Structure 1
């Protein structure tokens, strides 16, 4: 049985099918000559001055209401990414030695982490904060705030430098960080640092997982619809210092192996002056929340183990849950982006299966390569990228940005999508009119999609996180890296 949301999304296509015989009948009706209507119209119509004024008023009012009700375009002016210093680098050998010391009495847990690292798709240049490199690791509140200030302020300084914007010109500030939520909030920390206006609209999102970056974009878009001529900054990051798991449960050790330092600051605006200069404009944003299902709700959760150590627990059902969330999400975004031929093929498949009552047939997967030139899939891990490549029938080139971002920077949570977009730009592949599909997954369980259209051909950047290494990529990533 087709999902309810899928039926709703393709209702319009079914309606179009039903109109075909009606249109055929209308076209077969004999219509009197055009001159007949003109003569009848000229002889019967007589306008007085009040009628002319009243009609003019109605026309002007209708045009005004139409213009006011038209959604404001959300422009992505520019964005900045955090690049950790080389002193924060954690090599494979360093990670293995560190875990061997911290898990001295748990050789099985240590061997499990080594196997995960060998198959993770991460490279030798990923970084973690200094507090997690201590022996033993030091998850301290003060050190966590130092990490937050380093990552967030670095992104903000770079963004202000690139755009020439004054901090007092920021009207909306949204920051998402799932696991670190101090008081005062991180948005208050930013406002205090840059002495922003007292009437700024600030929002601090926590507990929303790796997909929170696109949730923040959606929130900024909705606020910009109600406040014309405004600027919004979205900051996406994950602070690791306080969230390193010190126990021995395997399901909770996995994030220690995958998550790395990262952050992004994105400037959005609805100002008309950015019509030509902005990098991208937002076409669509579709959010899917599977939290009503218990299995989806519990597949990623922050818990304490039997010894009182807190960490993120990943369920064995994670990939299956992510697959269901993706199916629901693409059934919603498909009618918005796919060419009409692909939509008709999908409707045909649904009707055929309904008539034949065959539930065992594999569903028809639309060719999303006809709708997008670039794909940014959340770099949550090698298995996530492999599964989406298979599900969406993508080529290795389409998932290159995701694989290379995972290899160079690791899983940087909600900011990973921006490292991938930066990779595409650094390769000089982003041309005017190109469409980009960002897909994010997060706890809850959520799957969110954003579609951007390139507003101008992007010059290859001379700075940024990829500037010193882009010529080395793409690299070959073996199935297993021997440590």
Structure 2
């Protein structure tokens, strides 16, 4: 039996230690790489592109002038004289023109409110918008992997999203969502949901459909707070196609860069400012309290503090911070500095909640009349189309030839709950209005109007 010499033993020990050290280094490097990869994938955000959108324009048989609205209200024989006087005053101050739309069933004498008429109204809006969207983008229905629909007051069974799946024979593994009861801001909530789904489902197309049912929300009673909604809400619907495919970059109109949501539901006054309920005679409707404009203002103040951090230039952020410090810590009696959002965005699509809400937003954000024009003209031409309104406004900007490559667009909506939601888009190309077909195309030369 041979005895291992000391030099040999030391050599074997050195090799063992070197081998062990290499393994430890390898394990440490592997753990570090795994940690960095985890951080990367957690922070990684797939780019979401907006290929195109389509807004439904009802036929001339649905046009409801102010005089027709008053006439049909009188003939319904459900409103007393005081209620009719109130509605006349609201219509005079509404900011409406003479071509807004209501369902044909509401213009009949007497009006019709059956489930069949409600389905007919909503299906016309949805199918009209989706048909136009698919024709514009040339995307096949079977390629759609995500579907998000919102309709606050009309939610039949099967759902409206199921109706779309059936109508267009969408694939059986489609991710389908039907949002209800979320108010006028549901359109941007739907967009936010679709964006989040696109972050975890690669190589997908998502269709977002935003609409509302006027027939279901119509009120036949004499409570003033519930009559306002009759005067403000009108027919409208939009369909939007999103993609996370990098190959769609060159044919897309916009990139969806940011979504921000603010919820004031913890505040009782904000929560109750828009409420679906029954009056003393059991007539159902949507009550808009006198606090709705105040709720919008409060929600907007909280909202812009969050949004402003990521979109405003440093100079505006410093001014805003300085005003907060002076007010909170130095106890100076002064209003917080309102940042100049015109330095962050070229275009604004402000929800057409009504003239009072538009005035409040313009005041809060210090916007000029040019930037408010898309919102005011949309209210004038189409009325408050609820969750789809911001898409009619973006259509207005496109029809006017205002959208240039690189422009940033802020879409802002308010809704019951009370909620304030934003979507930020960036134009990937200059939009040529002569090549666009949207609800404004054949009459954009008539706008803006003065009233």
Tell me if both proteins adopt one fold, taking TM over 0.5 as the criterion.
yes
State whether structure 2 residue 269 is matched by structure 1 residue 295: yes
Please point out which of 409, 412, 430 is paired with 1:457: 430
- 1:470-481 matches, within 5 Å, as 470-477=444-451
Alpha-carbon distance in structure 2 between the residues aligned to 1:65 and 1:356: 40
- 1:44-83 matches, within 5 Å, as 62=36, 66=40, 69-83=43-57
State whether structure 2 residue 198 is matched by structure 1 residue 261: no
Q: Deviations over 1:94-115 (max 9, x none)?
A: 1121122224761110011011
Alpha-carbon distance in structure 1 between the residues aligned to 2:312 and 2:83: 46
Tell me, yes or no, if the aligned pair for 1:103 and 1:110 is still in contact at 8 Å. no
How far 1:339 sits from its partner (Å)? 0.2
- 1:79-228 matches, within 5 Å, as 79-103=53-77, 106-228=80-202
User: How has the CA–CA distance of structure 1 residues 108 and 357 changed in structure 2, closer, same or farther, with 3 Å as cutoff?
Assistant: same
User: How has the CA–CA distance of structure 1 residues 120 and 70 changed in structure 2, closer, same or farther, with 3 Å as cutoff?
Assistant: same
- Unpaired runs of at least 5, structure 1: 1-46, 478-483
User: How has the CA–CA distance of structure 1 residues 61 and 321 changed in structure 2, closer, same or farther, with 3 Å as cutoff?
Assistant: closer
- What secondary structure is seen at the aligned counterpart in 2 of 1:432? coil
2:417 counterpart residue number = 444
Answer with 82-91 or 133-142: which moved more.
133-142
State whether structure 2 residue 376 is matched by structure 1 residue 403: yes
How far 1:51 sits from its partner (Å)? 7.0
How far 1:303 sits from its partner (Å)? 0.5
- Unpaired runs of at least 5, structure 2: 1-20
How far 1:116 sits from its partner (Å)? 0.4
User: How has the CA–CA distance of structure 1 residues 50 and 179 changed in structure 2, closer, same or farther, with 3 Å as cutoff?
Assistant: closer
Answer with 67-76 or 333-342: which moved more.
67-76
Tell me, yes or no, if the aligned pair for 1:284 and 1:450 is still in contact at 8 Å. yes
Tell me, yes or no, if the aligned pair for 2:254 and 2:426 is still in contact at 8 Å. yes
How far 1:415 sits from its partner (Å)? 0.1
1:285 counterpart residue number = 259
Alpha-carbon distance in structure 2 between the residues aligned to 1:56 and 1:321: 53
How far 1:135 sits from its partner (Å)? 2.2
State whether structure 2 residue 341 is matched by structure 1 residue 350: no
- 1:423-442 matches, within 5 Å, as 423-442=396-415
Please point out which of 357, 365, 376 is paired with 2:338: 365
Alpha-carbon distance in structure 1 between the residues aligned to 2:427 and 2:146: 23
Please point out which of 289, 309, 313 is paired with 1:315: 289
How far 1:49 sits from its partner (Å)? 12
How far 1:468 sits from its partner (Å)? 1.2
Alpha-carbon distance in structure 2 between the residues aligned to 1:150 and 1:277: 28
Tell me, yes or no, if the aligned pair for 1:373 and 1:435 is still in contact at 8 Å. yes
After superposition, the CA RMSD in angstroms is 2.0
Alpha-carbon distance in structure 2 between the residues aligned to 1:244 and 1:170: 34
- 1:2-13 matches, within 5 Å, as none
2:364 counterpart residue number = 391
Alpha-carbon distance in structure 2 between the residues aligned to 1:157 and 1:120: 32
User: How has the CA–CA distance of structure 1 residues 49 and 267 changed in structure 2, closer, same or farther, with 3 Å as cutoff?
Assistant: same
Under a length normalisation based on structure 1, what TM-score does the superposition of the two structures give? Answer: 0.85
Alpha-carbon distance in structure 2 between the residues aligned to 1:59 and 1:252: 61
- What secondary structure is seen at the aligned counterpart in 2 of 1:264? strand
Alpha-carbon distance in structure 2 between the residues aligned to 1:344 and 1:68: 30
Tell me, yes or no, if the aligned pair for 1:139 and 1:244 is still in contact at 8 Å. no
1:276 counterpart residue number = 250
Alpha-carbon distance in structure 2 between the residues aligned to 1:237 and 1:386: 24
User: How has the CA–CA distance of structure 1 residues 103 and 281 changed in structure 2, closer, same or farther, with 3 Å as cutoff?
Assistant: same
1:327 counterpart residue number = 301
Aligned length: 430
Alpha-carbon distance in structure 2 between the residues aligned to 1:120 and 1:105: 19
How far 1:414 sits from its partner (Å)? 0.2
1:481 counterpart residue number = none
Q: Deviations over 1:25-80 (max 9, x none)?
A: xxxxxxxxxxxxxxxxxxxxxx9999799969966994696367411111111111
User: How has the CA–CA distance of structure 1 residues 59 and 206 changed in structure 2, closer, same or farther, with 3 Å as cutoff?
Assistant: closer
